Amino acid sequence: MSTAWIAFGSNQAEPVAQLLRARQTLAAVLQEDAASALYRTPPWGYTDQPDFINAVIRYHTDLPPLVLLELLQRVEQEQGRERPFKNAPRTLDLDVLLYDDLCLDLPQLTLPHPGIRERAFVLYPLADLNPERLLDGSSVREWLTRCDTSGITRILHDNWQVV
């Protein structure tokens, strides 16, 4: 079985409910191992939009990386994901961040995810799960110290269980 780290994000249509629904859907196919806390984060890239709610969940899976990506994209579609432009507001964003120690560079999937190192909204929840995980020779915790972390807050929600 392989281990995959999946980033969850939403800033539309009750974001926490969107993440909870996606988590429940994925639980039918993937074996959840650990879940980060939820984080409220400012938008990145295109900033004229509401804050996001972000998390990372570590799963065990038998699905190969591209099949996993297809599953995530299907869940996004089922929850109303539209892609009008880059970094647009979204009901749900699911990204494969890491898949074991696999390095992959395909048109549809790059692993590790190319944006991890400069995106605090990914590094914060990833650090909840694996702070010492190495990315390009530095730990997740070290990469986090190099990012702008302003405006990011950990939030509590009764229905989101941190594992």
Q: Which two tokens stand for residue 58?
A: 């570590």
In the three-class reduction of DSSP (H, G, I as helix; E, B as strand; rest coil), residue 125 is classed as: helix
Cα–Cα distance, 107 to 105 (Å, whole number):
7
Q: Is 150 left (phi over 0), alpha (psi -120 to 50) or beta?
A: beta
| Residues forming the active site | 81, 90, 93, 95
CA distances from 13 to 10, 89, 120 (A): 8, 10, 23
Residue 11, token pair as written in the block: 């800033």
Non-local CB neighbours of 161 within 8 Å, separated by 6+ positions: 35
